[in-house]
C-alpha cells in the first residue's frame, strides 16, 4: 500500500505484499502490475511517474523505484538511497548521472562517442544519454523521464556545456507508457552532423537521422576486432549501414572492402566517411543482403572476412521462430562465402534471442557445410553499455567470431 509521512512533503512509500516481496528479493528490478495490489498504485501522482521508496512485507527497505501506472511494469527498482527520505528529481538525476559518468571517464574525450547513461544498468530506468563530441542525444522511454526532460537538459548543460542536446524520442517502445514519438531540440543550436573519432577512425554521425541516437556505439568492441583482423583481407560488410565496420576494416589495412545495404543514403554517407579518412572508396552494393549473398555465391566470390550485423529479426517473443530462420539462413549463406581460414563476425542485437539460442542458430548454420567452423571469440557491447546480471534483457548484443577450418 502507499503511505505518506504525517508532516512535511508527501513521502511515497510502497509496502509490498508477500508475493511481490519475494519477487523483488530474487533480484530482477522489475515488478509488474499483476504482482501488486490495485491499492498500491492508486495515488494520482503515479500517473505521470514518480520516485518512491519500496519496503518488503517485513518492513525492510528495498531502496528506490520509479513507479508508473501507465506501464505494465509498475515498479522499476533503481538502487539504494541513504536515509528514509525520497530524493527530489534533481537530487536523484544529478547523483545517478554523476555516478554513471564517473564509470566512463576513460572513454570520454573531446571528440569521442560514448554512452553516458544506459537506463536500468545505471539505475535510471527509462533514460539513455549518448555523447558525440560536443553533441548530446537523449532518449526517454518512461513517463517519469519524459516529464523531466527540461530538468535533465539543465543538469547536462551544467555538467558538459554541449553544443546541442537533442531528444530522440522516436522509439516505438514509448507507446507502452502512452507517450508520443517525437524528435525535438532540448537545448543549444541544431546540429545535423558531428564527427567523432574511434580507434583512429573518423565517423560522421547524424543525430537527427541516424539509427538509434546516430550511431551504433555498442559495437565499439566488434569494430576493434574487425580492425585487428582486416590486414590484407578481402572484406564483405553485410548490412553495412553507414559503413562503420567497413571503416574499421580499411583502417586495419584491408585489401578491399565491399559494403551491402538496402539504404543508398547510408552507403553514400559511408563513401563520404571513407574520403574523410583518406581511405580508398569501398565498393557499395545497394540491395537485400539475402539476395546479394546468393548472387555473390553464384559468382563464386570468396572473402577472408565477412561481417554480418543484421537488424533485429525478432523484436518480440512472437517473432523468435521466424527470426531464428532468418539468422540461420543468412549465417549459413555468409559462411559459404568464406575463403579457407576465413572468418565471419556475426551479430544479433535481439534480446529475445538469448546467447545460447544464438549459438544454436550458428550450430544449425554449419550442419551441411563441407568444412569445420570454430568459435574463435565471443564479444558483446562495450563497457559503456553495461550488462546487468539481475536484468538479462541488458545482454541484447551478441557477437561471435567464427573461423573456417578445412
3-state secondary structure of 196: strand
Q: What is the per-residue pLDDT for 315?
A: 66
Query: How much of the chain, in percent, has pLDDT values that exceed 70?
Result: 93
Is residue 66 part of the annotated active site? The answer reads: no
Query: How much of the chain, in percent, has pLDDT values that exceed 90?
Result: 74
Q: 210 or 270: whose pLDDT is higher?
A: 270
Report the alpha-carbon distance of residue 291 to residue 298 in Å, rounded.
Answer: 11
Q: What is the per-residue pLDDT for 391?
A: 83
pLDDT tier for residue 44 given thresholds of 50, 70 and 90: low
Given a cut of 70, is residue 55 above it in pLDDT? yes
Given a cut of 70, is residue 316 above it in pLDDT? no
CATH topology for the 89-194 domain: Transcription Regulator spoIIAA (3.30.750)
pLDDT tier for residue 43 given thresholds of 50, 70 and 90: low
Residues of the chain with CATH 3.40.50.150: 216-405
Q: What is the per-residue pLDDT for 45?
A: 60
Q: How buried is 172 (Cβ within 10 angstroms: 0-12 exposed, 13-18 middle, 19+ buried)?
A: exposed
pLDDT tier for residue 103 given thresholds of 50, 70 and 90: very high
pTM of the model: 0.92
Count CB neighbours of 113 within 10 A. Answer: 26
Q: Which of 78, 239, 347, 349 is catalytic?
A: 349
Which range, of 37-51, 169-183, 340-354, averages the lowest pLDDT?
37-51
Q: 36 or 329: whose pLDDT is higher?
A: 329
Q: How buried is 48 (Cβ within 10 angstroms: 0-12 exposed, 13-18 middle, 19+ buried)?
A: middle
Report the alpha-carbon distance of residue 139 to residue 134 in Å, rounded.
Answer: 17
Q: What is the per-residue pLDDT for 39?
A: 57
Segment holding 401, helix H or strand E: strand 398-405
Contacts of 141 (CB under 8 A, 6+ apart): 119, 126, 127, 128, 171, 173, 174, 176, 177, 179
pLDDT tier for residue 311 given thresholds of 50, 70 and 90: confident
Chain centroid to Cα 23, Å, comes to 26
Given a cut of 70, is residue 373 above it in pLDDT? yes
The second-level CATH assignment, the architecture, of 216-405 is 3-Layer(aba) Sandwich (3.40)
Q: What is the per-residue pLDDT for 390?
A: 82
Q: What is the per-residue pLDDT for 129?
A: 98
CB 225 within 8 A of CB 401: yes
Strands (E), 57-210: 61-67, 73-77, 113-118, 127-132, 135-140, 164-169, 182-188, 194-198, 201-205
Instruction: Name the CATH superfamily for 2-77.
Output: PUA domain (2.30.130.10)
Residue range 70-85: average pLDDT? 90
Per-residue pLDDT reduced to its tens digit, 325-369? 889 999 999 999 999 999 999 999 987 888 999 999 999 999 999
Per-residue pLDDT reduced to its tens digit, 215-244? 999 999 999 999 999 999 999 999 999 999
Residues of the chain with CATH 3.30.750.80: 89-194
Q: 395 or 375: whose pLDDT is higher?
A: 375
Which range, of 44-48, 192-196, 344-348, averages the lowest pLDDT?
44-48
User: What strand order describes the sheet that includes 13-15?
Assistant: 2-3, 13-15, 50-55, 61-67, 73-77, 30-32
CB 129 within 8 A of CB 146: no
pLDDT tier for residue 36 given thresholds of 50, 70 and 90: confident
User: What strand order describes the sheet that includes 182-188?
Assistant: 113-118, 127-132, 135-140, 164-169, 182-188
Q: What is the per-residue pLDDT for 26?
A: 84
Given a cut of 60, is residue 317 above it in pLDDT? yes
Amino acid at each position: 500500500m502507499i503511505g505518506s509521512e504525517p508532516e512535511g512533503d508527501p513521502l511515497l512509500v510502497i509496502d509490498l505484499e508477500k508475493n511481490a516481496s519475494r519477487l523483488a528479493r530474487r533480484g530482477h528490478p522489475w515488478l509488474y502490475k499483476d504482482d501488486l495490489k490495485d491499492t498500491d498504485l492508486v495515488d494520482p501522482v503515479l500517473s505521470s511517474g514518480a520516485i518512491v521508496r519500496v519496503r518488503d512485507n517485513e518492513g525492510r527497505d528495498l531502496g528506490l523505484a520509479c513507479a508508473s501506472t501507465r506501464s505494465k511494469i509498475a515498479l522499476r527498482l533503481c538502487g539504494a538511497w541513504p536515509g528514509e527520505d525520497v530524493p527530489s528529481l534533481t537530487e536523484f538525476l544529478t547523483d545517478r548521472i554523476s555516478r554513471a559518468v564517473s564509470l566512463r571517464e576513460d572513454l570520454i574525450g573531446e571528440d569521442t562517442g560514448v554512452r553516458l547513461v544506459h537506463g536500468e544498468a545505471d539505475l535510471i530506468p527509462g533514460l539513455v544519454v549518448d555523447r558525440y563530441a560536443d553533441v548530446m542525444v537523449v532518449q526517454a522511454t518512461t513517463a517519469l523521464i519524459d516529464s523531466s526532460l527540461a530538468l535533465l537538459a539543465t543538469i547536462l548543460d551544467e555538467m558538459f556545456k554541449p553544443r546541442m542536446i537533442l531528444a530522440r524520442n522516436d522509439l516505438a517502445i514509448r507507446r507502452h507508457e502512452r507517450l508520443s514519438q517525437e524528435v525535438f531540440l532540448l537545448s543549444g543550436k541544431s546540429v545535423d552532423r558531428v564527427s567523432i573519432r574511434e580507434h583512429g577512425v573518423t565517423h560522421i554521425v547524424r543525430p537527427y537521422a541516424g539509427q538509434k541516437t546516430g550511431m551504433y556505439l555498442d559495437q565499439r568492441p566488434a569494430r576493434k576486432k574487425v580492425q585487428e583482423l582486416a590486414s590484407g583481407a578481402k572484406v564483405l560488410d553485410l548490412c553495412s549501414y553507414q559503413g562503420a565496420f567497413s571503416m574499421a576494416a580499411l583502417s586495419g589495412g584491408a585489401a578491399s572492402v565491399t559494403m551491402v545495404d538496402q539504404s543508398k543514403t547510408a552507403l553514400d554517407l559511408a563513401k563520404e566517411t571513407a574520403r574523410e579518412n583518406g581511405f580508398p572508396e569501398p565498393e557499395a552494393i545497394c540491395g537485400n543482403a539475402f539476395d546479394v549473398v546468393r548472387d555473390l555465391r553464384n559468382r563464386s566470390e570468396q572473402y577472408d572476412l565477412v561481417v554480418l550485423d543484421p537488424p533485429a529479426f525478432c523484436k518480440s517473443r512472437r517473432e523468435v521462430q521466424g527470426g531464428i530462420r532468418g539468422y540461420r539462413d543468412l549465417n549459413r549463406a555468409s559462411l559459404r562465402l568464406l575463403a579457407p581460414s576465413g572468418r565471419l563476425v556475426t551479430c544479433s542485437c535481439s534480446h529475445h534471442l538469448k546467447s545460447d539460442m544464438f549459438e544454436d542458430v550458428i550450430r544449425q548454420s554449419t550442419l551441411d557445410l563441407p568444412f569445420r567452423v570454430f568459435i574463435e571469440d565471443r564479444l558483446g557491447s562495450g563497457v559503456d553499455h553495461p550488462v546487468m546480471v539481475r536484468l538479462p534483457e541488458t545482454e541484447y548484443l551478441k557477437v561471435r567470431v567464427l573461423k573456417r577450418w578445412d
